[in-house]
Amino acid sequence: MDDMPGSTYFSSWDFTSDPCNFAGVFCDGDRVVTLNLGDPRAGASGLSGRIHPDIGKLTNLVEFTIVPGRIIGTLPATLSQLKNLRFLGISRNFISGEIPATLGELQRLRTLDLSYNQLTGNLPWSVGSLTALTNVVLCHNRLSGSIPSFSSQALTRLDLKHNNFSGSIPPGSLPSSLQYLSLSWNRFTGPVDQLLPQLNNLNYLDLSLNRFTGPIPGCVFTFPITNLQLERNLFSGPVQPFNEVSIQTVDLSHNMLYGQVSPLFSTVQNLYLNNNRFTGSVPTTLMDRLMAGNVQLLYLQHNFLTAVPINPTAEIPLSSSLCLQYNCMIPPVQTPCPIEAGTQKTRPTSQCMEWKG
């Protein structure tokens, strides 16, 4: 490993003195327990080179991190010799190859952060079996295949977004301890209506841009989250929250949801229901709250709605955005819509008759 241009990290190491005094090296007695390689300050240049297999000889290591830089090559299999390791963080480098299955031997590992690299292959089942894991952050790689079941009842954060994962996620494969779950931008399939009710401690949920199917369970609208992102999947069925929804932003757009729009969504500030198959009239309470400025964004374009309870001369608040075009009606008010909504104001009658039937 070397300093990248602009970094003086390794040049600060004085090899005539005690290595325990080197920058980023912390010892317990004469044993290295923490190795934080590189200058951690924001904007500092990182390191280049590869991780040497001899890292496995530092068997007392509890924490091993490398700052963002240009580290290349694979993760050495010798990492499995670090039986005391609790924190492994090597994000925003250029690590390639597969995650070694032998990481499953690190029984004390709590945090695994290998995000923003070029890792390929599967997430080993042995990693899922680690019982002390609290954080798994593998986003922005090229990982593929099904994900393992996670055994740790302490796991609070699972971030797998921007990979190539596929397959379904069986109920019970994720622990109820999860508070942060991001699976967006993958190719996951199958239903989540049995899985999500078990995850009632979530305060962040993003399943967008996958191929999930089946109904959206009503319980997700009760989760203590600020942003519910389920857009661009293959979810179907009616959407029926249990109570008034207190989530600020709900995005269910670009699915195959149908039935009436629930009035329980009237308490949402930003509501994206566009590009679905909703029918009937928009709830009066939803339009009233839009006119009062409480609902800031209401996207209903590209559905099969037949009525909107709004006075055609009504002035929509400047702070609010409403899009109604391409439904089974002539929009009673003309409002600016996003470009992707197209220019057609109304859905062809032939589609509307067919849908009613």
pLDDT at 39 over 90: no
The fold adopted by the segment(s) 228-356 is: 3.80.10
Q: Quick one: 17 exposed, middle or buried, by C-beta within 10 A (0-12, 13-18, 19+)?
A: exposed
pLDDT at 355 over 90: no
CB distance 303 to 323 below 8 Å: no
Q: What is the pLDDT of residue 353?
A: 80
Q: What is the pLDDT of residue 223?
A: 95
Minimum mean pLDDT range among 17-26, 75-84, 130-139, 271-280: 17-26
CA angle 48, 54, 56 (to 5 degrees): 110
Q: What is the pLDDT of residue 276?
A: 98
pLDDT at 357 over 50: no
pLDDT at 122 over 50: yes
Q: What is the pLDDT of residue 354?
A: 66
% of the chain surpassing 70 pLDDT: 99
What does the alpha-carbon distance between residue 357 and residue 324 come to, in Å, rounded to a whole number?
22
Rg (CA), the chain: 25
Average pLDDT over residues 85-107: 97
Q: What is the pLDDT of residue 41?
A: 77
Q: What is the pLDDT of residue 40?
A: 81
* Burial track 189-200 (b if 16+ CB lie within 10 A, e otherwise): ebbbbebbeebe
Give the pLDDT band of residue 97 (cuts 50, 70, 90).
Answer: very high
β-pair type (304-307, 157-159): unpaired
Average pLDDT over residues 243-263: 98
Q: List the 96-97 sheet strands across, edge first.
A: 96-97, 118-121, 142-145, 164-167, 187-191, 211-214, 234-237, 256-259, 277-281, 304-307
CB distance 247 to 270 below 8 Å: no
pLDDT at 232 over 80: yes
- Nearest Cα to Cα of residue 74 among 130, 144, 121: 121
Q: What is the pLDDT of residue 57?
A: 96
- Nearest Cα to Cα of residue 272 among 249, 240, 299: 299
User: Residue ranges of the domains in the chain?
Assistant: 228-356
What does the alpha-carbon distance between residue 124 and residue 180 come to, in Å, rounded to a whole number?
21
Q: Which residues are CB-neighbours of 293 under 8 A, at least 6 positions away? A: 317, 319, 320
What does the alpha-carbon distance between residue 104 and residue 110 come to, in Å, rounded to a whole number?
12
Average pLDDT over residues 68-93: 97
CA angle 302, 307, 309 (to 5 degrees): 120
Token digits of residue 120: 């390929």
How does pLDDT run across 170-189, given as a tens digit for each residue?
999 999 999 999 999 999 99
Q: What is the pLDDT of residue 339?
A: 94
Average pLDDT over residues 29-42: 89
What does the alpha-carbon distance between residue 83 and residue 160 come to, in Å, rounded to a whole number?
25
Give the length of the chain: 357
The per-residue pLDDT of the chain, averaged, comes to 95
Q: Which amino acid is at 270?
A: N
What does the alpha-carbon distance between residue 58 and residue 262 come to, in Å, rounded to a whole number?
59
The pTM is what?
0.95
Give the pLDDT band of residue 45 (cuts 50, 70, 90).
Answer: confident
